[in-house]
A and B are shown apart, each in its own frame.
Chain A
Amino acid sequence: MLQPGSDTVSTDANRKERSSWSAPFRAHAETALQWLMLASLGVFILWPIAAVLKVGLFVDGRPTLELIRSALVDSRGLLGNSVFVGVTATALTLFIAVNVALWATRSGSRLSKPLFGLLLLTMISPPFVTSLSYVMLFGRRGLITYKLLGLTLNPYGWHGVVLMQGIGFTSLAAILLIGVLRGMDGRLEEASRDLGASPTSTIGRVTMPLLIPGLAAVSLITFVESLADFGTPIIIGGRFTVLATQAYLNFIGISNLPVAAAMGILLLVPSLIAFLLYRHFMGRLTFYTKGTGSAGEPMALPRWLLILTGTVTFMFAAFVTLQYLTILFGAFATTWGVDFTPTLKHIQGLPSTAFASISRSIRFALFTAIVGSMLGMIVAYLLERRRFWGRSGLDFIATLPFMIPGPFLGIGYALAFRDAPLALTGTLAIVLLNMIYRQLPVGTKAGAAVLSQADPEVEDAARDLGAAEHQVVKDVVFPQLRPAFLVGFVNTFTASMVTIGAIIFLISPGTKVATIELFGAVRGGHIGVAAVLANIIMLVTLAVNLFFSWLMLRRDATKEGVLSVPATRAIDQVIQRSDGGR
């Protein structure tokens, strides 16, 4: 039984005592935190962007389009090439991913689960894996073209780039679309059938329109990724080059910074247009995921669609499996394409710097994952729970690294931190800072996803019961963010392990990481060594992913809800992952 009145006095005393210090402390600490975050994002995201714009758009302090024009003229249609590859690769990805997603969610096949596993596995994809396997399968000494068919083809050109990008981006896209399809309210399809629509009309008139927001997100992500990808064209493009490649060559090869910056700007324009279009259309579209998913079995596909999706899915899965097997066996073949005798010579023959690079990759990725996720949680908390001046600005800046092509941000860091006051060229700090801020959206989105689902009244309840603001954060907000932190940690780690697009502009011999080592091996034609490196990167990343997935599932067995992926969450997940920076 409650004792009314017995501790009213002590309660009041307590309240007065605390009120004397907690309120001003709270106000100051929070304002300081908000300004600190705004300032740090300003320095490490906005300033590098501004630096590129300054170098690319100004000559001797005067604004001019001279550099842009010369970049456009010199590059002889590079922008067109980039956009062409971006559009066609995106179309290919969309086609495969829609088929795979429909089949995975609607075929009712027992193979759906292993397929999903394969998609997850292939999302951990070090850069150059697709191009490397392409060379190994279809190159001059390719397993399929040369060994099996006896052809000696020149496989280099835009066809290969589009094909390999299209397939490479599919895993991510398909996982996103599967998330949207699973989150869809199945009763809508049931209602359509109930009103007399055939399965085909239902797919056409209900399912696909509901999938449009997902398709828009997938298109944006794939398009931006394709533009930023310089690895695939540089390896298998042959004489076909794109902006990202040329920006890299200008920067690293001939140190023509103004032209590299101008090309970076050209690269940014289509990405920004895609992003604005996406925002424009998404503003009107909503994810119709209210309701609790399907009541019964998912609707069966019409026969023709089952056959189509099944065929596409099977071909995709077979090709991807072949790709990864090629890389795996390539590490143990004496001379790929000529002599397939098993050997350990590539492992033994790894350059002495390789192990240091691998160890650096792991340490950098761990550091980035921990610091980046914590930073992301703080930004997410400020965005989701605080009203303050500059909030929408913070939101925008924190999303910027996601829509900016990796090379642009890499060039930005190189230019912004060349000279005082922050001269960081060649340091460890510039690489780590770049990785952290580039992956910041990963943690932020994970945190925001959880907080936007969590009921803010829960925090009100804590305040109501006497918790001061710092206690609310400690007792209620952070414990709820734990799964988000883990998701952010794993995804940031994965993205950091395979990142190359931005840091390639910042690496010095003392900060060389495994992906750079891999790039060197691929460019030098050391297929065996490249395969070994790719395998090591994949194994390490996979091990960390599995360990943390196990950890999360074990500790949050009852809270599966937090980790399951309804549509908008899937978008966030993909946005996190897509930042991998190939």
Chain B
Amino acid sequence: MFLQLERLTKSYSGRTVVDEVTLDIEPGELVCLLGPSGCGKTTTLRMIGGFVTPDSGRVLIEDSDMTRVPANLRPTSTVFQSYALFPHMSAVRNVAYGLRMQRIARKDADSRAREMLTMVGLQSRADASVETLSGGEQQRLALARSLIVNPKVLLLDEPLSNLDAKLRQRMRREIRMLQSRLGITTVHVTHDQEEALGIADRVVVMNEGRIEQIGSPRDVYERPATRFVAGFIGRGSFLANRGSKESFVRPEDVLIRASGDGLRGTISHIQFSGPVVTYFVDTPAGTLQADIPLKSDNGFEVGSSVTCKIGNEATFVL
């Protein structure tokens, strides 16, 4: 194992924010820690980076114990949510800083920093002051500054949350391509499930300091292990079942027809969102969402009686 977290636990004034988190990460893997705010994902990341000391548990990188090693001596590097660029240094000085800390001569450090800036497409802004860079440029600069020290583990703390939607999509692609090209082991923290599903090799879903599920993006979407994961990732409907059970249905697994076998209900609301039309069907078991591809939509109206055929469902014990 390349990076191991062993039963990491951290409390702040009596409140446990990270609770026995155990995780093994392979070399070159990109793992996303995903969860709502306050779920402990950022604290976990900061414990890997050495900014927070765990109350108990260990952090191991290539089998050596890093738990008590201060941040400056760890082979990790973080891209901070705020980017945390040095405001009093130019872009190239920011990137060269980590090399200077390794006692590399200024000239050498600067020329390598310029190469790195070229790699992230910032060669023309090398001498610009940090404040004059746009949000996307600052993001790339922060990435370049982390990558230049050749970290064994790259830590990304919600790196895209300050960008607008279009730019976020593009940076997501760029980060993933750069990461696979360099083969750098990466832990990425985000609350944006679309981002996590789109970028990760494996997704770790966290809630209230605990890991709910670890799996490939497909796994956590198609086979949610807990009710929380089902509700947190993607959309879907919970239906009351026989006894103490509850089933969870993704909207794309529902077919609605005017008549036939299935769950009977009445359409209460219709939402149009481009490629699909979402019908909200009130049934005795609860409200069911059904995504019907635009091409095969039959144009039902609010108030129509329909039957729903459910293709695939997950069942949870209440």
Contacts and interface: CB of A to CB of B under 8 A. Distances in A.
Interface of A: 1-2, 4-8, 10-12, 14-15, 18-19, 23, 454-455, 457-458, 460-469, 471, 475-476, 479-480, 482, 558-559
A466 B101 contact: yes
Contacts, number: 108
B131 interface: yes
Contacts of A467: 72, 97, 101
B77 A4 contact: no
A2 B182 contact: yes
Contact of B77 (A2, A6, A10, A464): A464
Nearest to B77: A464
B80 A460 contact: yes
Contacts of B145: 461, 465
Contacts of B86: 458, 461-462, 475-476, 479
Contacts of B51: 460, 463-464
A466 B149 contact: yes
A476 B115 CA distance: 24
Contacts of B116: 2
10 contacts: A2-B148, A2-B150, A4-B182, A11-B149, A23-B70, A457-B81, A462-B101, A466-B149, A476-B86, A479-B88
A460 B85 contact: no
A457 B119 contact: no
Given A12-B75, A462-B97, A558 B150 contact: no
Given A457-B84, A460-B51, A469-B72, 10 more contacts: A1-B119, A2-B147, A11-B75, A14-B103, A15-B75, A460-B84, A466-B73, A466-B102, A467-B72, A471-B101
Contacts of B87: 454, 458, 480, 559
Interface in B78-105: 78, 80-82, 84-88, 97-98, 101-103
B128 to A, nearest CB: 11
Contacts of A23: 70
Contacts of B50: 463-464
Given A464-B49, A465-B97, A8 B84 contact: no
Interface in B105-154: 115-116, 119, 129, 131-132, 145-150, 152
Given A4-B182, A471-B101, A463 B82 contact: no
Interface in B36-85: 49-51, 69-78, 80-82, 84-85
B183 interface: yes
A530 to B, nearest CB: 46
A8 B150 contact: yes
Contacts of A476: 86
A502 B75 CA distance: 55
Nearest to B76: A464
Most chain-A CB neighbours within 10 Å: which of B49, B71, B72? Answer: B72
A10 B99 CA distance: 11
